[in-house]
């Protein structure tokens, strides 16, 4: 017994992937708060890990936003050593975030990682927070597209934009611009202006739920890339999206609960 006890082969711990919400503390779910309280070690992108108020028994392991797979592997290794590990993401961990990186690492990693206790804790993702600021723009069929071409070619992004706009879906754009690719959002708007009515509402929601929150609604004809940064989620309406003007108050944007199936060509589509 004494020989077995001296070996350093602790039972595997647990890994929890946590969505912290869009930024406001009141938008973190109770389930996420409880998962944070349980964990001993936290992996994530610097700004997300810095949101956490940790106790003396808890440690941060922050890294850059292009190191998702390395971060996932390090977290899995630590969990295998018996630690209670949390991997944190802003918004929801399963929407363009770390849950997919953890699954990918397990898929291509050592067999023993598959025996780990893995839990995914959902969070309020950016498009839901932004939509709530302006009404109900996601009240009917919609999709989410990341404009980042780090892991997929721009040609594929452009093809998907054309397809979903032509199908009449509301579009939520994540990762709209960065220093390395300031041009892509402008090109996305140009693609959409060839398909959608000029009056289509575009919602720019920056830092939804945080003190520096900023929301703007403009018609597609006036939408520009310099209206967004990486903290912005952009929601582009469909031909059926409606805008309700209100005296002294911001307009309400909503997608009607029923759809007629009228295509973009039946409205004021640009020639």
Using one digit for the tens of pLDDT, what is the confidence trace for 41-67? 999 999 999 999 999 999 999 998 789
Pairing of β 84-89 and β 41-45:
parallel
DSSP states along 56-111: TT-EEEEE-TT-HHHHHHHHHHHHHTT-EEEEEESB-TTSSSHHHHHHHHHHHS-G
Residue 10: its pLDDT value, please?
57
Confidence of residue 171 (pLDDT cuts 50, 70, 90): very high
pLDDT at 250 > cutoff 70: yes
Residue 2: what pLDDT?
Answer: 39
Q: What angle do CA 127, 137, 263 make, to 5 degrees?
A: 120
Residue 266 scores a pLDDT above 60: no
Record: fold of 127-265: 3.30.950
- For residue 271, pLDDT beyond 50: no
Give the C-alpha separation, 234 to 174, whole Å. Answer: 7
Strands 170-174 vs 232-236: parallel, antiparallel or unpaired: antiparallel
CA atoms within 13 A on the CB side of 226: 0
pLDDT of residue 120: 98
Average pLDDT over residues 228-252: 95
Q: In the predicted model, is pLDDT for residue 19 greater than 90? A: yes
How many Cβ atoms from other residues are within 10 Å of residue 117's Cβ? 11
- What percent of the chain has a predicted confidence (pLDDT) above 70? 92
pLDDT at 179: 83
What CATH number labels 12-124?
3.40.1010.10
Prediction pTM value: 0.89
Asked if the model's pLDDT at residue 234 lies above 50, the reply is yes
State pLDDT tens for residues 94-147.
999 999 999 999 999 999 999 999 999 999 999 999 999 999 999 999 999 999
Predicted confidence at residue 9, as pLDDT, reads 55
> Which one is predicted more confidently, 265 or 218?
218
Rounded mean pLDDT of 87-91? 97
Angle at 216 (CA atoms; ends 26, 245), nearest 5 degrees = 105
139 close to 238: Cβ distance less than 8 angstroms: no
Domain ranges of the chain: 12-124, 127-265
Residue that wins the pLDDT comparison between 9 and 203: 203
Can you tell me the distance from the alpha carbon of 102 to that of 94, in angstroms, rounded to the nearest whole number?
A: 10
């Amino acid at each position: 017994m004494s020989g077995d006890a001296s070996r350093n082969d602790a039972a595997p711990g647990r890994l929890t992937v946590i969505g912290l919400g869009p930024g406001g503390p009141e938008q973190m779910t109770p389930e996420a708060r409880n998962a944070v309280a349980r964990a001993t070690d936290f992996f994530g992108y610097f700004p997300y890990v810095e949101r956490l108020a940790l106790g003396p028994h808890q440690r941060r392991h922050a890294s850059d936003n292009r190191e998702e797979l390395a971060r996932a592997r390090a977290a899995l290794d630590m969990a295998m050593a018996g630690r209670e590990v949390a991997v944190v993401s802003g918004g929801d961990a399963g929407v363009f975030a770390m849950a997919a990186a953890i699954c990918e690492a397990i898929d291509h990693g050592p067999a023993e990682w598959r025996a780990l206790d893995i839990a995914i804790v959902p969070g309020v993702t950016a498009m839901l927070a932004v939509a709530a600021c302006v009404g109900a723009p996601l009240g009917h069929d919609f999709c989410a597209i990341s404009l980042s071409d780090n892991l997929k070619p721009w040609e594929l992004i452009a093809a998907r934009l054309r397809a979903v706009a032509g199908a009449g879906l509301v579009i939520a754009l994540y990762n709209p611009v960065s220093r390395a690719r300031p041009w892509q959002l402008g090109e996305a708007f140009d693609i959409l202006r060839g398909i959608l009515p000029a009056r289509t509402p575009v919602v720019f929601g920056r830092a939804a739920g945080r003190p520096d929150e900023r929301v703007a609604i403009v018609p597609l004809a006036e939408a520009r890339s310099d209206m967004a940064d990486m903290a912005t989620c952009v929601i582009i309406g469909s031909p059926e999206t409606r805008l309700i003007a209100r005296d002294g108050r911001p307009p309400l944007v909503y997608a009607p609960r029923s759809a007629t199936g009228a295509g973009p060509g039946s409205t004021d589509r640009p020639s």
